[in-house]
Chains A and B, each alone.
Chain A
Amino acid sequence: MTQDQMTAARQFIDAIPHSRRLGMQLEELGDGRAIISMPYDSALIGDPVTKVIHGGAVSALMDTAGGAAVVAHPLAGLGTATLDLRIDYMRPATPGQTITATAECYHVTRTVAFVRATACDEDTGRPVATATGAFTVAKASP
């Protein structure tokens, strides 16, 4: 990917309102790869007893990271939409810790991009959740 394309992809991701609202930060963007972090926020609590972040916020993080990895892939255009996303929750994220998702777009056809992603809190050796998804590929301009 050229430097210009990468800058465009970065701006595209930084401008997503819902991701901004969740406090997401783009940490790294490479060819078909994206790392996005989401700091702990008590507004995102899903379990009142344990204060653990709601799975839905983790899904939003995974979806954003997945879409970012697609947009950063040299064969996919700018802009994508999720076709399906499956999340497996391995353990509750530790309250107070930032969650970081690493997504990899591992295959792209003319129409579909395939993605896998892993989310970790500060204990990076034990993932909080993993995801696999399929995303649309923007049509090349005629």
Chain B
Amino acid sequence: MSRPEPVTQVKRRRDLALSVIVNQVPYIEFLGVRFDRHGDELTATMGFHEDLIGNPILPALHGGATAAFLEITAIIGLSWSTLWDDIEAERLDVEAVQNGALVLPKTIDFTVDYLRTGLPRDAYARARVNRSGRRYASVHVEAWQDNRDRLFAQASGHFLMPQRHG
């Protein structure tokens, strides 16, 4: 019986895959969003900065920044879940992804529900893929700040899946 893959090697492979996917999208960096991984679970963080403010008087996060944060979380979460098997089987061609071969799901529609004022501090989000078919996927995202049980926004959207050939 073959021994299981060493944990450091597993983590290195998964983290490399995640970073090359995320680094392909300039807007993720623009908004200051990063992803933390525990096993296959991703948590997105949007680190607070002044440029995210929509209402300077309150102050509060811009609804558009919140929407974008949720949409980024949904797209990366969906892409990650569909690529997971390839990553685990060491079939993901990291070099090809870096050279622009990664085709991301395209948003068809996206509905954001604003539950509370976005405070001027870090925000977190996780996506749940409710349905992932060959052509379409449905994804739900939840976002919170200080307290996981007090969501400040949630969203759901439909996505067109990249077509795989061969």
A-side residues, CB < 8 A to B, are 15-22, 42-49, 53-57, 59-64, 67, 79, 81-89, 92
Q: Which secondary structure characterizes the binding site on chain B? A: mixed
Please give, as numbers and ranges, the residues of chain B lying within 8 Å of A84 by CB-CB distance: 111-114
Whether the Cβ atoms of B31 and A56 lie closer than 8 Å is: yes
Whether the Cβ atoms of B27 and A81 lie closer than 8 Å is: no
Q: Which of A17, A42, A61 contacts B56 (CB 8 A)?
A: A17
Q: Which of B27, B53, B100 contacts A57 (CB 8 A)?
A: B27
Given contacts A59-B110, A63-B63, A85-B63, contact A17 B50 (CB under 8 A): yes
A18 nearest in chain B by CB position: B62
Interface string of B29-71 (1 = CB under 8 A from A): 1110000000000000000001111111100111111011101
Interface string of B102-133 (1 = CB under 8 A from A): 11101111111110010000000000000000
**Counting CB contacts under 8 A, is B81 at the interface?**
no
**Counting CB contacts under 8 A, is B10 at the interface?**
no
Nearest CB in chain A: distance from B127 CB, A = 14
Nearest CB in chain B: distance from A135 CB, A = 9
- Count of chain B residues with Cβ under 8 Å from any Cβ of A? 42
Given contacts A15-B56, A54-B68, A86-B109, contact A45 B51 (CB under 8 A): no
Please give, as numbers and ranges, the residues of chain A lying within 8 Å of B26 by CB-CB distance: 42-46, 48
Whether the Cβ atoms of A82 and B51 lie closer than 8 Å is: no
Among all A-B residue pairs, the 6 with the closest Cβ atoms: A56-B68, A60-B64, A18-B62, A82-B63, A54-B27, A63-B64
Nearest CB in chain B: distance from A98 CB, A = 17
Q: Which of B2-36 contact A (CB under 8 A)?
A: 24-27, 29-31
Please give, as numbers and ranges, the residues of chain B lying within 8 Å of A62 by CB-CB distance: 64
Q: Which of B30, B71, B72 has the most CB of A within 10 A?
A: B30
Please give, as numbers and ranges, the residues of chain B lying within 8 Å of A60 by CB-CB distance: 62-65, 67-68
Nearest CB in chain B: distance from A138 CB, A = 11
Please give, as numbers and ranges, the residues of chain A lying within 8 Å of B54 by CB-CB distance: 16-19, 63-64, 67
Q: Can you name 24 A-B pairs with beta carbons within 8 Å?
A: A16-B54, A17-B50, A17-B51, A17-B54, A17-B56, A18-B61, A42-B26, A46-B75, A48-B26, A48-B100, A54-B72, A56-B64, A56-B69, A59-B64, A60-B63, A63-B63, A79-B55, A81-B55, A82-B63, A85-B112, A85-B114, A87-B67, A87-B111, A89-B109
Whether the Cβ atoms of B60 and A81 lie closer than 8 Å is: yes
